[in-house]
Structure formats: C-alpha cells, structure tokens
Amino acid sequence: MMVMFTVLCTLVLSVSTLEIRGSDDELFDFTSGDLGSWKEVSDTVRKPGMSKAVLSLQKTRVFQRAVMFAMINPQPNGAGFAGVQTTIPSSAASHASSTGLKLQVRGQGQLKYWKVVLTDKSQVGSLKRRDYELKFKVETDMAVSSRQFEVVELPFADFKAYERGKEVKDAPALDLTKTGAFGFQTFGGVYDSFKQEGTGSLEIDNVSFY
C-alpha cells in the first residue's frame, strides 16, 4: 500500500512539474483570456499601401483561439505587408537561451507565407525600424491538412535583421533581452522568389519557447 502511495505521489508531482514548466515556456496563450493590446501594423502606414490585417478572438462553447485575417493588395513588384503587433512580455528575456519559438497554427485561404517579427525596444514605433524576422509556410489546402493544426518551430538562430523587407547583412544577431515587440505578418514577397496576394487567415492556439 505504501509503495502504491509513493508511486502515486511521484506521478502527481511529475504531472504538476510538467504543467508548471509548460506554462513557464508559454509566450502567448490564446485559448483563454483576452487579446490585450495587439494593434495593426500594415503597409497603409505608407502612401501606396492597400493591405489590411485584423487579429480577433474566436470563441465557441468548446474552444477559444486567435485568428489573424489578412488581405494583401501588393504593388506590381510584390511590395506589401499586413500584420499585427504587441508588446512582448518582460518574462521573454529570461528565455534568451532557448532554442526558438514554437507556434500551433492553421492556415486557410490564398496566403501561405507568414512570418514572426521581433523588434528591439529601441526600434519600436520607428517607420524605418530594423526588425528580426523569420518566414514560415503553412498548408492552406484543407484536403491535404485534414483540417489539422501544424506545429511550426522557428529557431532564434535563423532570425535575420530586415529593414523595409530587405535583409541587413551586417546587423548583429537577435538578442531576445533587447526585444520590445512581437508581431505576426504576411506579405507580398517583394524580395522573395515567390509572390502572393489575396486574402487568408492564420488560426493561432499558442506561441511558446522550446
């Protein structure tokens, strides 16, 4: 009996430890609470810009998640972007030694390419700011994805510095202790081998460190 009790206590302790570790590793959990202070950051800050993004909460009786709706109306060369941004929690700095970010997402529509944008505190609010970005592709064909969510891993080592969509080759590496803002963005592909336009959505359950 004592052995069974000891094993049970050990199992309970292990589960509790896992739950605490999981919550410590989470950056954004959209399955509960509200959106907070997310704001749009799209190409309409410039005169020729015509794109749009909205981040909204989807709530049902059985689940809750965030959905980013976007419309890309690019210029002829593919220039155009639509995104949302928020202040990154101060606790993120303690994860500077983590490998990267993990997203649980699902895409729909015409827009397959998205990215996470990290902005240094000193650059937040500047129109000519330098961001650290990493692009990712999602499966938008529901017949292929079977409507399942994807887990996307974004290593911090792969984030590169960009200014107005163009890579800054001599920029220092990403330093999470200096990051002030976090954003999701989709784009036309002005400097990419591909181009995209139209409408799409990115459903997001959570963002965590790994």
Q: Which residues pair with 29 in a beta bridge?
A: 206
Mean pLDDT score of the chain, rounded to an integer? Answer: 89
| Cβ pair 105, 205 in contact under 8 A | yes
Q: What is the pLDDT of residue 48?
A: 83
What dihedral do alpha carbons 204, 116, 141, 31 form, nearest 10°?
Answer: 0
Q: Using CA atoms, how far apart are residues 12 and 16, in angstroms rounded to an integer?
A: 6
Tokens for 140?
Answer: 């938008």
Q: Residue 149: its pLDDT value, please? A: 96
Q: Where are any strands of DSSP class E within 78-128?
A: 81-87, 100-109, 113-120
The pTM is what? Answer: 0.86
The most distant pair of C-alpha atoms in the chain lies apart, rounded to whole Å, by 75
The residue among 65, 86, 101 whose CA lies nearest residue 176 is 101
Pairing label, strands 166-167, 113-120: unpaired
Give the tokens for residue 173. 């590496």
Rounded mean pLDDT, 184-207:
97
**3 state DSSP class of 74:** coil
DSSP class of residue 158 equals G
Convert the pLDDT of each residue in 21-70 to its tens digit.
346 899 999 999 999 899 999 998 777 889 999 999 999 999 999 999 99
**pLDDT value of residue 23:** 60
- The token duo for 175 is 């330093």
Q: Provide CB contacts within 8 A for 162, sequence distance 6+.
A: 130, 131, 132, 133, 168
